[in-house]
């Protein structure tokens, strides 16, 4: 265990003893010597090594204990992301608020006033703002993590730390941004309640909120690390991601409710989008109005698990040698 | 005490040269297709010895090939080799920024590698924030950094600027802060790249001083990669010479350094010209042997500044020569001729016939004369009949290294840093008090 900071006297004497009592055993070792493979038999001493560097890692070489050891680094990366972004700006973190407000106003004009899309009985401002809040969280997580390898090659090439720390830190720093935007959303809800008497639906559906946010984080992380792993050698996919994410928003009920869709085929298409049920679920958790089924929640959960699984496998494969091809 | 802390077994690393393009996609697909059918990677069977100077026939090279070595606890191991010998690849694998193609490395204890200082420094963040960030990237916990924070700031000497963004720092301050964080790492095993030693002289001194401190006082294991013989000589216990991705030689500093010089310059401190076809000389004179030695007559690759250096060469006279002399010219690492000398007792200007036979001549370079570094020696014999008539002139006949231990016995005194000057005489100093 190379994570152990100081070997205690007891532990080191124990390891010495282990070292003295080496177990010798016969092991077949394949040594590649060009041009063909020769099999030789060598005596290999079994010892207690703290770290073994080998060509291939297991399928799931995600070492959670190691990430835990680097938790301080994780926190520092989060801090760096949050503080560095708005250094030398006057408004500072206010920009986290200004961006969703302007987007909401735009949506209000384009989709509500011009296109005349109804909003499921939810106050339009809240409808758009809630959609934008959760969608922003997804895009931020996704674009941030999908750039993990290529964007941080400079650091990765010089020093080792668990690579997953960076995408995880992106998740957390964006969680803080989500917190700010969510607070804004709550503030607007209260304001409208006080001024217009718009009802605030309080109920058990609020308990769904953390689940929905975790689902969104998981989807962003999973898809992000998949893209990141696939783009180290061939960057094509990275180009697609840039505008793909904008297009994806139109296939997700961010600017319109699912109930607005009349065409069967389009409804089916949007329903298959695993993000749809998360966005709808977010609105259900907040307003409790539209129908939300356990099936669509289950669908999202399954999707997140699958994406995280594939992402973890790809990520742990790529992280070992990506420096050679990036 | 001498337990093995690093064991490298059959370590190999293959690289593909050229650009990543659609051509590589074809190879990737082929590789994938072999794997699906349970076959070996077809591109691992090809690949050439990594000699960057020759154009290869395939795009695949072995940057490292079947490397085996061990490092004991508390040892300072130097790794030398020419550019492209595989030093950096070995470093990358040891510091886990890339994985090997074959083989394994086993490590006991906490390892930290320093391939660069200031990794992850963010220009917008203050010095304080960057110390924590950089420390954490290098594997320290917040508590460890907090404990050493004052030391780090003190060592860097940037107290006044500690809450200023590092982009406002002078480049010197930036490097000092970055190095200071790295210098306060306390791993059991440390991997250092010589690129650390670039920068101003003060920084180099701090770097080297800290390395000596870490290795001597704290007894830590250090792997040091360099092609600077001076530093290797001063710090390392044992040296590995990498050559085209394989271990060329392994052993004491002196033996490996001389092997390196032989492979790099094609010369060493002792040479014989046995091949009759290639022997330097003409019908009158032939150079047979040359060597560098100390006052006891022992052939040496490495001489101390305080030692007298003997240059001896043996030649054969085939036909009588008359207005004749022999001498040598000594050049330092940068190719500058330090001096040239020839024997005045022989017959230049005088008429004195030297009859056929075997002769040995020695020239003595006084102690406290040459500075540190690698020197090459050209030996020559010629006659002067108004114009020079050269019998032999072997440009890089010999090479040797002069080192200056910081033991107070040379002009350097106890100063550990970079000491300037082409020569290093030990002067007599007089001091008088005029007024006090």
Mark yes or no for CB contact A53/B93 under 8 Å: yes
User: In terms of pLDDT, which residue wins out, A45 or B161?
Assistant: B161
Mark yes or no for CB contact A155/B137 under 8 Å: yes
Nearest CB among B45, B106, B125 relative to A49 is that of B106
When mean pLDDT is compared across A308-322, B11-25, B246-260, the lowest value belongs to B11-25
pLDDT for B289 equals 92
Helix (H, G, I), strand (E, B) or coil at B265: helix
Nearest CA in chain B to A13: B1
Residue A91 Cα, gap to closest chain B Cα (Å) = 16
pLDDT for A3 equals 39
pLDDT for B397 equals 87
> What is d(CA A253, CA A45) in angstroms, rounded to the nearest whole number?
61
Which residues lie closer than 8 Å to B347 by C-beta, 6 or more apart? B322, B323, B324, B325, B353, B354
pLDDT for A306 equals 95
pLDDT digits (tens, 9 = 90+) for A260-292: 888 888 888 888 888 998 998 898 888 887 667
pLDDT for B42 equals 66
pLDDT for A191 equals 92
Angstrom distances, CA of residue B199 to CA of A268, B130, B155, B192: 63, 20, 17, 15
pLDDT digits (tens, 9 = 90+) for B174-192: 888 888 888 888 788 888 8
Q: Is B216 in CB contact (< 8 Å) with chain A?
A: no
pLDDT digits (tens, 9 = 90+) for B248-302: 888 888 778 767 766 666 668 888 888 777 788 888 899 999 999 999 999 888 8
pLDDT digits (tens, 9 = 90+) for B332-370: 877 788 999 988 877 555 666 778 899 999 999 999 999
pLDDT digits (tens, 9 = 90+) for B207-220: 677 777 777 777 78
pLDDT for B172 equals 80
Mark yes or no for CB contact A160/B24 under 8 Å: no
Mark yes or no for CB contact A53/B124 under 8 Å: no
pLDDT for B431 equals 92
Task: Assign A27 a pLDDT band (cuts: 50, 70, 90).
Answer: very low
Nearest CA in chain A to B132: A76
In A273-293, where does DSSP find H-type helix? Answer: 274-287
pLDDT digits (tens, 9 = 90+) for B64-101: 889 999 998 888 899 988 777 888 888 889 888 888 88
Cβ contacts of B7 on chain A, cutoff 8 Å:
49
Backbone angles phi, psi at B55, to 5 degrees: -80, 130
Residue B242 Cα, gap to closest chain A Cα (Å) = 18
Which of residues 182 through 241 in chain A touch B, CB cutoff 8 A?
233-234
> What is d(CA B334, CA B347) in angstroms, rounded to the nearest whole number?
33
Mark yes or no for CB contact B97/A2 under 8 Å: no
When mean pLDDT is compared across A35-39, B98-102, B244-248, B358-362, the lowest value belongs to A35-39
> What is d(CA B313, CA B294) in angstroms, rounded to the nearest whole number?
14
> What is d(CA B391, CA B280) in angstroms, rounded to the nearest whole number?
8
pLDDT for A33 equals 37
| Residue A11 pLDDT greater than 50, yes or no | no
Helix (H, G, I), strand (E, B) or coil at B434: coil
Work out the average pLDDT over B223-237.
77
Q: How many CA atoms lie within 13 A of A24 on its CB side?
A: 4
pLDDT digits (tens, 9 = 90+) for A106-154: 999 999 889 888 887 788 899 999 999 999 999 999 998 988 888 888 8
Work out the average pLDDT over B236-257.
84
| Residue B312 pLDDT greater than 90, yes or no | yes
pLDDT for B338 equals 92
Cβ contacts of B25 on chain A, cutoff 8 Å:
234
pLDDT digits (tens, 9 = 90+) for A43-84: 444 567 888 888 776 666 667 888 888 888 999 999 888 888
Predicted ipTM > 0.90: no
pLDDT digits (tens, 9 = 90+) for A199-248: 787 888 888 899 999 999 999 999 999 998 888 877 788 788 878 888 99
Helix (H, G, I), strand (E, B) or coil at A108: helix
Q: Is A50 in CB contact (< 8 Å) with chain B?
A: yes
Q: What is the mean pLDDT of chain B?
A: 82
pLDDT for A7 equals 38
Among A253, A294, A283, which Cα is nearest to A271's?
A: A253
Work out the average pLDDT over B384-406.
84
Nearest CB among B40, B133, B165 relative to A76 is that of B133
Cβ contacts of B218 on chain A, cutoff 8 Å:
none
Residue A59 Cα, gap to closest chain B Cα (Å) = 15
pLDDT digits (tens, 9 = 90+) for A151-197: 888 888 888 888 899 999 999 999 999 999 999 999 999 999 998 88
> What is d(CA B244, CA B317) in angstroms, rounded to the nearest whole number?
42
| Residue B31 pLDDT greater than 90, yes or no | no
User: In terms of pLDDT, which residue wins out, B16 or A177?
Assistant: A177
Q: Which residues pair with A185 in a beta bridge?
A: none
> What is d(CA B67, CA A178) in angstroms, rounded to the nearest whole number?
51
> What is d(CA A84, CA B126) in angstroms, rounded to the nearest whole number?
10
Nearest CB among A73, A88, A157 relative to B137 is that of A73
Task: Assign A30 a pLDDT band (cuts: 50, 70, 90).
Answer: very low
Model pTM above 0.80: no
User: In terms of pLDDT, which residue wins out, B392 or B261?
Assistant: B392
Task: Assign B21 a pLDDT band (cuts: 50, 70, 90).
Answer: low
Mark yes or no for CB contact A155/B122 under 8 Å: no
| Residue A302 pLDDT greater than 90, yes or no | yes
């Amino acid at each position: 265990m190379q994570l152990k900071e100081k070997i205690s006297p007891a532990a080191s004497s124990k390891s010495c003893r282990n070292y003295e009592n080496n177990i010798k055993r016969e092991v077949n070792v394949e040594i590649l010597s060009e041009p063909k493979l020769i099999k030789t038999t060598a005596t290999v001493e079994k010892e207690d090594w703290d770290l073994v560097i080998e060509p291939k890692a297991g399928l799931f070489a995600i070492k959670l204990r190691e990430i835990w050891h680097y938790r301080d680094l994780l926190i520092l990366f989060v801090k760096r992301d949050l503080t560095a972004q708005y250094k030398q700006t006057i408004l500072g973190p206010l920009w986290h608020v200004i961006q969703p407000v302007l987007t909401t106003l735009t949506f209000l004009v384009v989709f509500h006033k011009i296109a005349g899309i109804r909003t499921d009985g939810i106050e339009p401002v809240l409808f758009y703002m809630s959609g934008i809040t959760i969608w922003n969280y997804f895009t931020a997580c996704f674009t941030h993590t999908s750039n993990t390898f290529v964007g941080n090659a400079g650091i990765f090439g010089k020093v080792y730390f668990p690579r997953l720390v960076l995408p995880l830190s992106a998740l957390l720093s964006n969680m803080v941004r989500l917190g700010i935007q969510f607070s804004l959303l709550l503030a607007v809800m209260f304001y409208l309640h006080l001024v217009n008497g718009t009802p605030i639906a309080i109920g058990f559906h609020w308990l769904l909120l953390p689940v929905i946010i975790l689902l969104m984080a998981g989807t962003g992380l999973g898809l992000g690390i998949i893209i990141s792993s696939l783009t180290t050698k061939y960057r094509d996919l990275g180009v697609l991601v840039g505008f793909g994410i904008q297009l994806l928003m139109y296939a997700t009920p961010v600017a319109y409710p699912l109930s607005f869709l009349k065409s069967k085929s389009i409804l089916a298409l949007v329903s298959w989008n695993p993000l749809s049920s998360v966005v709808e679920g977010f609105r259900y958790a907040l307003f409790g109005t539209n129908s939300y089924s356990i099936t669509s929640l289950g669908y999202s959960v399954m999707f997140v698990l699958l994406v995280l699984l594939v992402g973890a496998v790809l990520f742990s494969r790529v992280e070992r040698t990506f420096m050679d091809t990036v | 005490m001498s337990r093995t802390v690093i064991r490298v077994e059959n370590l190999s690393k293959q690289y593909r040269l050229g650009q990543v393009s659609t051509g590589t996609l074809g190879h990737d697909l082929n590789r994938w297709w072999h794997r699906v059918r349970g076959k070996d990677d077809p591109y691992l069977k090809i690949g050439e010895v990594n000699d960057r100077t020759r154009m290869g026939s395939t795009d695949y090279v072995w940057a490292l090939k079947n490397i085996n070595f061990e490092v004991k606890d508390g040892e300072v191991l130097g790794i030398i080799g020419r550019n492209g010998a595989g030093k950096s690849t070995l470093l990358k694998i040891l510091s886990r920024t890339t994985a090997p193609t074959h083989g394994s490395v086993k490590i006991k204890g906490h390892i930290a590698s320093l391939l660069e200082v200031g990794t992850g420094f963010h220009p917008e963040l203050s010095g304080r924030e960057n110390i924590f960030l950089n420390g954490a990237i290098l594997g320290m916990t917040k508590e460890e950094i907090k404990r050493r924070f004052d030391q780090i700031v003190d060592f860097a000497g940037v107290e006044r600027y500690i809450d200023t963004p590092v982009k406002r720092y002078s480049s010197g301050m930036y490097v000092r802060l970055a190095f200071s964080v790295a210098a306060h790492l306390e791993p059991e095993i440390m991997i250092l790249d010589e690129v650390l030693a670039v920068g101003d002289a003060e920084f180099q001194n701090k770097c080297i001083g800290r390395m000596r401190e870490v290795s001597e006082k704290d007894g830590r294991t250090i792997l040091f990669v360099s092609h600077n013989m001076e530093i290797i000589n001063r710090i390392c216990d044992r040296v590995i010479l990498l050559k085209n991705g394989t271990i060329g030689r392994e052993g004491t500093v002196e033996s490996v350094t001389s092997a390196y010089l032989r492979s790099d310059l094609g010369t060493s401190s002792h040479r014989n010209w046995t091949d009759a076809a290639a022997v330097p000389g003409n019908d009158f004179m032939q150079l047979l042997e040359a060597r560098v030695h100390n006052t006891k007559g022992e052939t040496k690759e490495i001489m101390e500044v305080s030692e007298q250096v003997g240059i001896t060469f043996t030649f054969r006279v085939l036909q009588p020569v008359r207005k004749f002399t022999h001498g040598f010219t000594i050049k330092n690492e940068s190719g500058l001729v330090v001096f040239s000398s020839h024997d005045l007792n022989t017959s230049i200007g005088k008429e004195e016939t030297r009859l056929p036979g075997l002769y040995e001549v020695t020239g003595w370079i006084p102690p406290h004369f040459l500075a540190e570094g690698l020197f090459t020696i050209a030996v020559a014999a010629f006659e002067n009949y108004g114009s020079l008539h050269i019998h032999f002139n072997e440009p890089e006949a010999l090479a040797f290294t002069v080192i200056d231990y910081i033991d107070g016995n040379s002009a350097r005194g106890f100063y550990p840093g970079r000491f300037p000057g082409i020569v290093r005489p030990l002067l007599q100093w007089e001091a008088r008090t005029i007024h006090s």
